[in-house]
Structure 1
Amino acid sequence: MGGRSYAIAGGKGGVGKTTTAVNVAAALGASGRSVGLVDADLAMPNLGAVLGVEADATLHDVLAGAADLEAALARDDGLVVVPGDPRLDRYRQADPAKLGEVIQRLATAVDVVLVDTGAGLTHESLVPFGTCDAVVLVTTPDRAAVDDAAKTCEMVGEVDGAVAGVVATRADEAGAERVEADVPAPLLSRVPDDPEVAGDEPVVETAPDSAVADAYRDLAEALVPRPDGGRAGAATVSDG
């Protein structure tokens, strides 16, 4: 039986999709669950740089048919990362249609797969919407960001996907209420704005006692309730 898979999405850039993916992955990993993290922002991938990991190949190589998925797996403290390649020529060669197969194969090896998608409603973002078990929308309370999240929510339905809910980032209670009112999805978590704990590294590790870390841990539990026991050992991706 495969693990759950979630696309982390939101129409507008800069709302915290990657930060959400990284922190949820770290929170799940700390609680004993095995996690796969895919950098599906094909135009501007940055997960490898954020986490400081490298693999023999990248997601772009896999999508171009130049490498097998196993070669593109970077392991970091129990986290299995499929990093991307930011070079423009690699973007041109990558076939987004193969993203679904990557997600499905990785899900056979871990408890949960988190897919960090790019901004906007592009073909490469629509593939995870329809492939993953559900989509987690991420938005700030900013009007434009909320409108884009609502549009993304509608588009998920167009590709027969499911929306797990929405995360309001950099939001006070009033901001979270605006997000909940305008995005037709359950509010999964409110992540407060705290510049003192901002940064690329997972807040759940660098500032574990902060309200921001608490919000991401709550989100992780909402998405993947704690099992009796996680999968042990290194992830091995099946061939089909």
Structure 2
Amino acid sequence: MVEVFAVASGKGGTGKTTSTVALGMALSERYDVTVVDADTGMANLLFHAGLSDAETTLHDVLADDAPVEAATYDRFGMTVVPCGTSLDGFRDADPDRLREVVATLAAGTDVILLDSPPALDSRTAVLPVVLADRIVVVLQPTIPAISDGLKVQEYATTYDTGVAGLLFNKVRESESIDRVAEKTERYFDGPTLAAVPESERAREARRAGRPLLAHAPDCAAAAAYRRAADALTVREGSPGDAADRFRSAVVPEQL
């Protein structure tokens, strides 16, 4: 059994990486979970998972300088594959190798979460969406964020990737999330998984280099992420078939 989710947003600043790690921790209570930082140009998962001193990262794997096993780390009940932050590492990395990385990881886990780039304007950025079975769209309850999220859904639909659901993040107390979600769901293919309130504890966790669910497990934002994980259905599949599909995934050359 393996299912791959791309956690995506149409713009930066939505809390996508925080959401990816939080969903991973919550899902790890029921599944074997692997989280991969597929944002090879603006990686920051390593800071959220306390891996800023990691010697081997996804950059090394994509440059064919190390096997993927050397870039996997056990953290907070998950397997984490961080990406490096250096310009040299980004330059040397071949993003097309991500196919083989996902295929290899799929043989030994139940769920893979790909922390995707915020803008889908290149082959590098689109590939995580192509490789995923379904996407989780992280939104803020604003018109620009929702509009950009719809673009993510358009890309997903183009590559036959489904929509697992919407995750509203950084929701202020004054915002009527029920009204926003009701209107938004008319345009998206998936349901609203949860609304995560704006939280100072999330910012504290980021500064501490720990996932929110480890840093402040009892806060309202952590509870919302657990509700999102509970609402996220994980479908059974065949690891062998999935691995073949990942290796053969194609992104049109015009991107």
User: TM-score by structure 1 length?
Assistant: 0.85
**Structure 2: distance between partners of 1:44 and 1:89:** 13
Counterpart of 1:93 in structure 2 is 92
Note the C-alpha offset of 1:67. Answer: 1.1
Residue 7 of structure 2 contacts residue 135 of structure 2 at CA under 8 Å; is this kept in 1? yes
Please show how residues 1-240 of structure 1 align to structure 2 within 5 Å: 2-29=1-28, 31-53=29-51, 54-121=53-120, 122-171=122-171, 172=175, 173=177, 174-199=179-204, 200=206, 201-224=210-233
Note the C-alpha offset of 1:125. Answer: 2.6
Residue 35 of structure 2 contacts residue 81 of structure 2 at CA under 8 Å; is this kept in 1? yes
1:23-42 Cα shifts (integer Å, max 9, x gaps): 1111122x242211100111
* Higher alpha-carbon deviation: 184-193 or 34-43: 184-193
The one-letter amino acid of 1:191's match is V
The one-letter amino acid of 1:35's match is V
Q: Cα RMSD over matched residues?
A: 2.2
**Structure 2: distance between partners of 1:144 and 1:155:** 17
Note the C-alpha offset of 1:74. Answer: 1.4
Q: 1:9 to 1:197 in 2, by over 3 A?
A: closer
**Structure 2: distance between partners of 1:196 and 1:56:** 29
Q: 1:63 to 1:206 in 2, by over 3 A?
A: same
Residue 15 of structure 1 contacts residue 169 of structure 1 at CA under 8 Å; is this kept in 2? yes
Partner-residue secondary structure (3-state), 1:170: strand
Note the C-alpha offset of 1:197. Answer: 4.8
Fraction of identical pairs, as percent: 38
Residue 103 of structure 1 contacts residue 132 of structure 1 at CA under 8 Å; is this kept in 2? no
Note the C-alpha offset of 1:211. Answer: 2.4
**Structure 1: distance between partners of 2:187 and 2:148:** 11
Note the C-alpha offset of 1:177. Answer: 3.7
Residue 126 of structure 1 contacts residue 159 of structure 1 at CA under 8 Å; is this kept in 2? no
Note the C-alpha offset of 1:184. Answer: 4.2
Gaps of 5+ in 1: 228-239
Partner-residue secondary structure (3-state), 1:119: coil
Partner-residue secondary structure (3-state), 2:41: coil
The one-letter amino acid of 1:129's match is V
Q: 1:141 to 1:51 in 2, by over 3 A?
A: same
Partner-residue secondary structure (3-state), 2:185: helix
* Higher alpha-carbon deviation: 147-156 or 121-130: 121-130
Residue 60 of structure 2 contacts residue 66 of structure 2 at CA under 8 Å; is this kept in 1? yes
The one-letter amino acid of 2:217's match is P
Residue 20 of structure 1 contacts residue 216 of structure 1 at CA under 8 Å; is this kept in 2? yes
Counterpart of 1:237 in structure 2 is none
Q: How many residues align?
A: 226
Q: 1:160 to 1:182 in 2, by over 3 A?
A: closer
Note the C-alpha offset of 1:90. Answer: 1.2
1:15-68 Cα shifts (integer Å, max 9, x gaps): 111011011111122x24221110011111111122112544211111111111
Partner-residue secondary structure (3-state), 1:49: helix
